């Protein structure tokens, strides 16, 4: 992987950071990821370490106490973390979704108040969009903000489901409707009327602290509205989902790298009679596809991150392509990695069994594979129209 084309395109500073991320993951994440998965929780200490290393605010500018790293470096962080633990990477994903929305759409006052603690990891954020009856169909949100008579407060009622990090987040970016218009609002965890109900026994991302949120007459200041009512689904949520996709695309790439590295190591040593697995053509076919997907995914992720750093309009579609490709390739690679290991790949002692369960989730979060196909298909068909074909 390190000799891949994607790696060759990095600056020395990006390469140096990538080495730092990989070494952190090798020492402080990989040895514990299986335990976190089994116990379905991340220890506070590892989240504190992410915070101390500046990883939770890495994309935020220095004026808000962030690291001011470019998106390529953000992608490398997610790739390195994704090799170790998808659940831990999800904390970085969601923190960046909330932070980047605030950076783009927050008022000066909101940025001053919320961004520094988010950047330093003193506060964990969660992105509360999905509802039991509004997943892909976001227009169907039923969570409601009702203004009081003075207009200085909103009364929040509704229900959110499948919210990552909600078990330990201190602030929620909640999407709903205000006078029938989509709206987004920051809701601190300790607000009376908010009940957090943990979700356990997920197939993958088991340590990511998912929960349902129940809001019953929760009073929040109108000053916590992020962006103008009416624009929450067209402008506010897309910024978060875009960063979520960059993070997930790169995390899936890391998982794919894990599958590849585990598979080549095993194929080189596992003896079947007088041959190793790697001597067998059918096993080599599986590894060939994995290695090629890894190279292609690496380039797609790198291109998406570079486009974002260059503020190019195509960053949106490049990110969709990267997430679409790497999440599906990760599912294929994880399945093949289990196949290559046989029974030992079906046991928790091998990371590929966890990869297998985590990979499928990546096809569902930050919009499903089908929604990616729908949006990308539309973009490509429109392009044909523009070229007059
Ligand atoms: C581990 C995990 C973490 C998550 N974290 C968060 C979080 O932090 N915040 C948050 O808000 N949500 C989160 N989610 C929820 C996730 O974003 C939704 O599950 C996702 O958007 C899909 O919604 P749904 O599950 O309701 O599926 P549905 O929308 O009901 O879709 C079911 C199936 O129908 C397909 N489908 C739906 N609409 C169309 C269409 N128009 N065309 C073609 N096919 C279609 C879908 O692709 C899917 O295959 C998380 C989910 C998981 C599993």
Q: Answer yes or no: do 228 and 243 share one domain.
A: no
| Cβ 135 under 6 angstroms from ligand 1 | yes
Would 389 be classed as within a structural domain?
A: no
Hey, what are 271's tokens? Answer: 């003896």
Atom of ligand 1 nearest to the CA of 129: 11
Where in the sequence is the domain holding 131, given as residue range(s)?
A: 125-232
Same domain, 172 and 155: yes
Predicted local distance difference test score (pLDDT) of residue 4: 61
What's the predicted TM-score (pTM) here?
A: 0.97
Q: What is the largest CA-CA distance in the chain?
A: 82
- 247 and 339 belong to one structural domain: yes
Compute the 3-state secondary structure of the chain and give helix, strand, coil in percent, each to the nearest 5. 60, 15, 25
The rounded distance, in Å, linking the Cα atoms of 332 and 348 is 19
Total structural domains in the chain? 3
Q: Which residues contact 131 (CB under 8 A, 6 or more apart)?
A: 140, 141, 142, 143, 158, 159, 160, 161
The protein residue whose alpha carbon is closest to atom 43 in ligand 1 is 370
Query: 136 and 185, same structural domain?
Result: yes
Kindly state whether residues 227 and 251 are assigned to the same domain: no
- Which residue, 103, 119, 135, sits at the end of a domain? 119
Q: Are residues 330 and 307 in the same domain?
A: yes
CATH number reported for the structural domain that contains residue 250 in this entry: 1.20.140.10
The CB of 138 under 6 Å from ligand 1? The reply is no
Residues 354 and 249 in one domain: yes
Asked if 213 contacts 172 with a C-beta cutoff of 8 angstroms, the reply is: yes
Statement to judge: residues 132 and 265 lie in one domain: no
Q: Is the CB of 136 under 6 A from ligand 1?
A: yes
Same domain, 68 and 97: yes
Say whether both 187 and 146 belong to one domain.
Answer: yes
Q: pLDDT at position 151, please?
A: 86
Please work out whether the CB of residue 205 comes within 6 Å of at least one atom of ligand 1: yes
Any ligand 1 atom below 6 A from CB of 305 = no
Asked if the structure places residue 55 within a domain, the reply is yes
Contact (Cβ atoms closer than 8 angstroms) between residue 283 and residue 340:
yes
Q: What is residue 1's predicted lDDT score, i.e. its pLDDT?
A: 40
CB 227 within 8 A of CB 100: no
- Examine the domain organization and report whether 67 and 99 are in the same domain: yes
| Residue 135 Cα to ligand 1 middle (Å) | 5
Q: Are residues 306 and 357 in the same domain?
A: yes
365 alpha carbon to ligand 1 midpoint, in Å?
A: 6
Where among 232, 254, 271 does a domain terminate? Answer: 232
Q: Is the CB of 304 under 6 A from ligand 1?
A: no
Helix (H, G, I), strand (E, B) or coil at 382: helix
Q: What is the CATH number of the domain that holds 74?
A: 1.10.540.10
Q: Which of 119, 153, 172 is the last residue of a domain?
A: 119
Interval 135-154: pLDDT, tens: 999 999 999 999 999 989 99
For residue 364, report the distance from its CA to the centre of ligand 1, in Å.
Answer: 5
Q: Which pLDDT tens digits describe the chain residue by residue (389 residues)?
A: 455 656 778 999 999 999 999 999 999 999 999 999 999 999 999 999 999 999 999 999 999 999 999 999 999 999 999 999 999 999 999 999 999 999 999 999 999 999 999 999 999 999 999 999 999 999 999 999 999 999 899 999 999 999 999 999 999 999 999 999 999 999 999 999 999 999 999 999 999 999 999 999 999 999 999 999 999 999 999 999 999 999 999 999 999 999 999 999 999 999 999 999 999 999 999 999 999 999 999 999 999 999 999 999 999 999 999 999 999 999 999 999 999 999 999 999 999 999 999 999 999 999 999 999 999 999 999 988 776 65
The first and second tokens of residue 299, run together, are 């380039």
| Cβ-contact 153, 70 below 8 angstroms | no
CA distance 256 to 362: 12
How far is residue 43's CA from residue 40's CA, in Å, rounded to a whole number? 10
Residue 384 is assigned to a structural domain of this protein: no
């Amino acid at each position: 992987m390190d000799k891949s084309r994607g790696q060759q395109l990095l600056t020395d500073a990006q390469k140096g950071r990538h080495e730092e991320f990989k070494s952190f993951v090798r020492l402080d994440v990989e040895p514990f990821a299986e335990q976190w998965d089994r116990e379905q929780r991340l220890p506070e200490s590892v989240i504190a370490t992410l915070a101390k290393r500046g990883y939770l605010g890495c994309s935020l500018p220095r004026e808000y106490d962030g690291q001011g790293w470019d998106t390529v470096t953000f992608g490398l962080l997610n790739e390195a973390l994704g090799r170790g633990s998808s659940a831990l990477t999800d904390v970085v994903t969601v923190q960046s979704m909330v932070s980047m929305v605030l950076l783009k759409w927050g008022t000066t006052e909101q940025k001053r108040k919320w961004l520094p603690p988010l950047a330093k990891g003193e506060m964990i954020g969660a992105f509360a969009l999905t509802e039991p009856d509004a997943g892909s169909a976001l227009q169907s949100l039923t969570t409601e903000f009702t203004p009081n008579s003075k207009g200085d407060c909103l009364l929040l009622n509704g229900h959110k489901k499948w919210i990552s990090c909600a078990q330990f987040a201190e602030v929620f970016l909640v999407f709903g409707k205000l006078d029938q218009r989509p709206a987004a609002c920051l809701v601190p965890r300790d607000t009376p009327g908010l009940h957090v109900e943990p979700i356990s026994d997920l197939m993958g991302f088991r340590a990511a602290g998912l929960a349902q949120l129940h809001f019953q007459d929760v009073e929040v200041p109108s000053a916590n509205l992020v962006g103008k009512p009416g624009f929450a689904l067209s402008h506010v949520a897309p910024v978060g989902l875009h960063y979520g996709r960059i993070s997930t695309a790169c995390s899936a790439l890391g998982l794919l790298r894990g599958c590849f590295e585990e598979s080549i190591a095993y194929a080189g040593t596992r003896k079947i009679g007088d041959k190793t697995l790697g001597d067998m053509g059918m096993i080599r076919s599986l590894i060939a596809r994995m290695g090629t997907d890894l190279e292609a995914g690496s380039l797609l992720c790198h291109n998406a991150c570079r486009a974002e750093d260059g503020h190019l309009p195509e960053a949106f579609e490049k990110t969709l392509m990267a997430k679409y490709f790497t999440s599906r390739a990760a599912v294929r690679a994880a399945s093949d990695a289990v196949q290559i290991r046989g029974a030992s790949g079906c046991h928790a002692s091998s990371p590929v069994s966890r990869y297998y369960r985590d990979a499928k989730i990546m096809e569902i979060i930050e919009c499903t594979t089908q929604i990616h196909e729908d949006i990308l298909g539309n973009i490509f068909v429109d392009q044909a129209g523009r070229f007059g074909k």
